[in-house]
Structure 1
């Protein structure tokens, strides 16, 4: 059986960094209010000319360079995004064109903040089955364009960015086990209900969220899926070197770590600098932990994320 392992990682954040203090000059909020409730201190926002594919392509180039892999060696591209460049074609095919790759499968996965978990698990299945040898998996978002900047309850939470990993075939398991879930009964907790019809936007084009409902659901399900993956893999929480969670809210992350009996010194935390970048948040945090030397080869990582749908999942891997 073939196994999928991470060969390289890369990330990209737009140049413009917006602090809580800057937001407080535009809306009724404060650094203290945002920090106390979320742990967020700043976020990066895409420039007017930047598209999701631009962020994704740059993160991909950095991941390929880190892996020492030429673009033409990639035989699968999956982009996890809820903010595609356009209705179609997929952002993945646009990234494919920007990287100078042709011929290989390229498609998007839409599971919002859980998108990277879904994309990573899908790429793993391709590699395990022998359908691909080298996969490029990207999480990329420009959420700043779907939030209402007059709504302080949501606009302060999100940022833009992209993260990427290169997966390759290996003799030993890199991705040890994964678990994905979804439950459409909770779709009203977090949604952007707009759609295109007759050349116009129908419905609300801005993100809508039940903050308390999302918080309660996320804490419960992230803890449950983490335990589920560990149990099925025959691994204890004590064997986990690092949790690399979706970076939505520090309090949710703290609750999940506490449930597993792990301290925050075992968590890669980037939410303060990046805010919630949806599908990009896990690969951004993963790349940050690798590049600063905390995450090292041979260590066991638990990745987990949850987002609108509701969709959620976890991946246990040995880096």
Structure 2
């Protein structure tokens, strides 16, 4: 599979740590020390995952080497739906008159984007699609409770769009060497680790310690698996992109793998935890700076639990 083009959208508003001192007594120093977050992105009331996905798509379009109507599979990947019936995939299909495409919504917590990559791979292997569009977005501010001292200060909003093809379409395409995902509902605190229950408290992380432990285990484990399975070592890895949940997780992984800081790409300090789009967002933000031959690994962990990773070669 190949990434043909990518784009992203980040809302303009930033909510700084001082905001939470007034709400629940958490100091800026406390938040930054434990999460690495200084500010987080926040969408406008009239924005949602569909509108944000559309803006991300528009940014990607100028780099697309074929007409968008050639897309035959559209997946919206998210855990914070705006409309659970007519999804962003259907909105984009209508907006661009992509008549021949399948359209669906996929949710697997913060691994949703990587799961979408694997679903695309499946459709390609079955011969049921050749060009796909993944719309990855979360509007956490639609569901969070900012007064929650455990997780109310974590969340940001954003979107990314990725065009994927079965065959190489141009010389600038980035090859996806392998994708792996796991359902991990049977381990640790499983389904109770992170929750989003719209009528029962919104988005919460009651088992943060367990989430931390499992993320520090599975994110590096899956990255190492993909590298070894494709004939690479850690020395060959140009960039490591982890789910942007907590900078302490990244620091822990860096120590485990003995990887230098410059190999880690991140945006959590400014944007907070943008959910299932976070790793895709980092990739899209840095995409134009990647060089030919770079090896990039995205690895994620999400509530439920779920995990996944994707290895790319530029």
Counterparts in 2 of 1:190-209, with a 5 A limit?
Answer: 190-194=194-198, 201=199, 203-209=200-206
Task: State how far apart, in whole Å, the 2-side matches of 1:23 and 1:193 are.
Answer: 22
Which residue number corresponds to residue 317 of structure 1? 312
Which residue number corresponds to residue 198 of structure 1? none
Residues 237-282 of structure 1 deviation map (CA, whole Å, 9 limit, x = unaligned): 1111111111111111122233223112001111111111111101
Aligned residue pairs, count? 307
Which residue number corresponds to residue 238 of structure 2? 241
Counterparts in 2 of 1:219-298, with a 5 A limit?
Answer: 219-291=216-288, 293=289, 295-298=290-293
Which residue number corresponds to residue 183 of structure 2? 182
Change (3 A) 1:30 1:93: same
Q: Give the 4+ runs in structure 1 shifted more than 4 A.
A: none
Cα RMSD (Å) of the superposition? 1.9
Which residue number corresponds to residue 2 of structure 2? 5
> Structure 1 residue 23: deviation in Å?
3.5
> Structure 1 residue 68: deviation in Å?
4.1
Q: Which runs of 5+ in 1 are unaligned?
A: 195-200
> Structure 1 residue 129: deviation in Å?
4.2
Task: State how far apart, in whole Å, the 2-side matches of 1:305 and 1:188 are.
Answer: 18
Which residue number corresponds to residue 58 of structure 1? 55
Task: State how far apart, in whole Å, the 1-side matches of 2:259 and 2:125 are.
Answer: 31
> Structure 1 residue 128: deviation in Å?
4.2
* 1:123–1:135 contact (8 Å) kept in structure 2: yes
Compute the TM-score of the two structures, normalised by the length of structure 1: 0.90
* 1:84–1:91 contact (8 Å) kept in structure 2: no
> Structure 1 residue 168: deviation in Å?
2.1
Which residue number corresponds to residue 28 of structure 1? 25
* 2:117–2:179 contact (8 Å) kept in structure 1: no
Task: State how far apart, in whole Å, the 2-side matches of 1:208 and 1:301 are.
Answer: 29
Residues 80-123 of structure 1 deviation map (CA, whole Å, 9 limit, x = unaligned): 10011123133321232234433301111101110111011221
Question: Which shifted more, 38-47 or 124-133?
Answer: 124-133
* 2:219–2:242 contact (8 Å) kept in structure 1: no
Compute the TM-score of the two structures, normalised by the length of structure 2: 0.91
Change (3 A) 1:270 1:7: same
Task: State how far apart, in whole Å, the 2-side matches of 1:258 and 1:137 are.
Answer: 33
> Structure 1 residue 215: deviation in Å?
0.6
Change (3 A) 1:258 1:131: farther
